[in-house]
Amino acid sequence: MDYLKPMPNPFPGMNPYLENPDLWPQVHHLLISSIFELLVPQLLPKYIVDIEKRIYELRGENSLLVGIPDVTVLKTPIQTNPPSSNIAVVAPPATAVKVRVPVPVEFREAYLEVKDTETKEVVTVIEVLSPANKRSGKGREMHEEKREKVFGSRAHMVEIDLLRTYKPLPVFGEGIESSYRILVSRREWRPIADLYVFNLPDIIPAFPLPLRGEDAEPIVDLQALLNAVYDRAAYDFRIDYTAEPIPPLSESDAIWADTWLRERGLRESSVNPLY
């Protein structure tokens, strides 16, 4: 039996199509798992790695978040030739529409903790941000509270932001603008931290995982991990590269992406990148 050979991630760095709310929850889960699998054999026996979860409930507008589309309005068709009946029916005053009401949603969010095997003390926290962490509301408030606690503790923190939407988490610096970023905060350097910034055309930078001073630090090649996730989940069979990504790209990124995809035969030259 012949199997189709998967096409690798066509982008040199972050694939903006993976930011789609329909795909991102799975990408987030697989990326967390991939980092876990990378670190466990390198850190044993001195350190263990745990996948932790925070659970919170989103209400109101904030319930329409990751994996849940915005309010959908569907026009109800009008019957032009209703069946005959002896019962008098009063014509409706207006056409009804179908809407989604903002019901509470329980949201589960995974992150990683590197711990000392003997003392179980948390040495490093690794976060891969979700839209709920960046969008104003309870999710962002909870993440910022957790972030401040880590910054005030003896633990290092790594914060990976592969999402273009919403306001980035705060750092102090002049003129820092980028679509994506990785923050590596070492406890002994605070308030100074390393911020890796990159954009759509750039390869995702690899970074060292901070541990205790006497230990060798493994390098996390996030680009390789993301490319492996893309292959494992067969996203090339799910993504339509002739369409524009969701959320939409900036004008300059849309032009760059259109040229990049056309050069790789994934789009026809007639596609309008700004449509």
**3-state SS string over 167-208?**
CCCCCCCCCCCCCEEEEEECCCCCCCCEEEEECCCCCCCCEE
Residue 269 has pLDDT above 50, yes or no: yes
CA R_g for the chain: 23
pLDDT at 69: 38
pLDDT at 4: 63
Residue 86 has pLDDT above 60, yes or no: no
Q: What residues pair up with 220 in beta bridges, in sequence order?
A: 207
Q: Per-residue pLDDT averaged across 15-22, rounded?
A: 96
- Per-residue confidence at 91, pLDDT binned at 50, 70, 90? low
Contact 108, 28 (CB under 8 A): no
- Per-residue confidence at 10, pLDDT binned at 50, 70, 90? very high
C-alpha to C-alpha distance for 246 and 6, rounded to whole angstroms: 22
- Per-residue confidence at 103, pLDDT binned at 50, 70, 90? low
In this structure, the dihedral spanned by the alpha carbons of residues 26, 29, 30 and 32, taken in order and rounded to 10 degrees, is 150
Q: How far apart are the first and last CA of the chain?
A: 41
pLDDT at 53: 85
Q: Give 77's DSSP letter.
A: P
- Per-residue confidence at 108, pLDDT binned at 50, 70, 90? confident
pLDDT at 6: 72
C-alpha to C-alpha distance for 221 and 69, rounded to whole angstroms: 32
- The residue that leads in pLDDT, 272 or 178, is 178
C-alpha to C-alpha distance for 39 and 37, rounded to whole angstroms: 6
Mean pLDDT of the chain: 85
pTM: 0.81
Q: Per-residue pLDDT averaged across 232-257, rounded?
A: 97
Contact 29, 111 (CB under 8 A): no
Cα dihedral sign for 8, 233, 27, 152?
negative
Q: Give 135's DSSP letter.
A: S
Q: Single out the residue of 187, 215, 36, 183 nearest to residue 113, CA to CA.
A: 36
Q: What percent of the chain has pLDDT over 90?
A: 67
Q: Single out the residue of 127, 137, 151 nearest to residue 102, CA to CA.
A: 137
pLDDT at 98: 76
Residue 1 has pLDDT above 80, yes or no: no
Q: What is the pLDDT of residues 44-66, one digit of tens each?
A: 999 999 999 876 666 655 544 44
Q: What is the pLDDT of residues 151-179, one digit of tens each?
A: 999 999 999 999 999 999 999 886 889 99
